[in-house]
Amino acid sequence: MKLNLSKILQSALGGCAVVVSALVLSTSGASAQQQYVYTEDGFSQGTVANGKIVRRTTVRAERYIPTIWVDPDGCEHWVMDDGFEGFMTPHVTRQGIPVCRRGNTCAVMNSDQLFATNQATINGANKKRLQQFFQSAGATAYIIEGHTDSRASDAYNLNLSQRRANAVAQVARSVGARVSSTRGYGERVPKASNGTARGMAANRRVEIQCIR
């Protein structure tokens, strides 16, 4: 009687689709069949002897999510991240030339219009306005930067500006726009003097960089 070792192992390991076999020698000297069954989550290793599974080991594979990250200079990098560790390498042409895109500030939005004081939640009307912007801007990717005035501590302002940038990015992604990165600069990159109320109002902003 001829045994179908692949079917035996597949049945024992849950009906997996891809089986690779190798002939091995058991400790007793008898011939045994070692097989590897690959799945989308990893692979199972089993040893079949005399038509029975005598050993089974499952190794879970890492799941990597590939994407492209655009650095502040507009140059692309391939990124792979499974949540525990990541890998990044520059995206270059066949001639070894870095792939870089041109970026420009395509929108500056006053934070007072988007957010309540000390908050990072966008109200319904402004969320719709942002969605319309991202649907019509036509950029390949976006870099979103949050800024504050100089009130409160540096650490507080950095956190608030980052949360506001993240909130705008969430709206962008909700309509399918690709956000390359979000950055919170707090009070560190003012565009006007923080010595006047008008200047502070100008500094409370979210800037959107369009990568084309």
Tens digits of residue pLDDT in 42-64? 445 555 566 565 555 555 545 55
Question: What sign does the CA torsion over 100, 210, 66, 15 have?
Answer: negative
Give the residue, 130 or 82, on which the prediction is more confident.
130
- The architecture (CATH level 2) of 101-211 comes to 2-Layer Sandwich (3.30)
- Judge contact between 35 and 9, C-beta under 8 A: yes
pLDDT at 135: 96
pLDDT band at residue 14 using 50, 70 and 90 as cut-offs: very low
Q: Look up residue 204 and give its DSSP letter.
A: S
154 vs 113: CA distance, rounded Å: 22
Give the residue, 100 or 58, on which the prediction is more confident.
100
Domain boundaries, the chain: 5-60, 101-211
24 vs 29: CA distance, rounded Å: 10
> 134-148: buried (b, 16+ CB within 10 Å) or exposed (e) per residue?
beeeebebbbbbbbb
What percentage of the chain exceeds 90 in pLDDT?
Answer: 46
Report the alpha-carbon angle 169-87-167, nearest 5: 10
pTM of the predicted protein model: 0.58
- 37-46, 76-85, 120-129: lowest mean pLDDT where? 37-46
pLDDT over threshold 90, residue 15 = no
Give the residue, 28 or 63, on which the prediction is more confident.
63
pLDDT over threshold 60, residue 113 = yes
Q: Could you tell me the two tokens for 182?
A: 């979000």
Q: Could you tell me the two tokens for 127?
A: 């969320």
pLDDT at 45: 54
172 vs 134: CA distance, rounded Å: 6
pLDDT over threshold 80, residue 28 = no
Give the residue, 33 or 195, on which the prediction is more confident.
195
Average pLDDT over residues 135-153: 94
pLDDT over threshold 80, residue 183 = yes
Q: Could you tell me the two tokens for 129?
A: 């306005």
- Judge contact between 164 and 114, C-beta under 8 A: yes
Average pLDDT over residues 72-101: 76
pLDDT at 121: 95
pLDDT over threshold 50, residue 5 = no
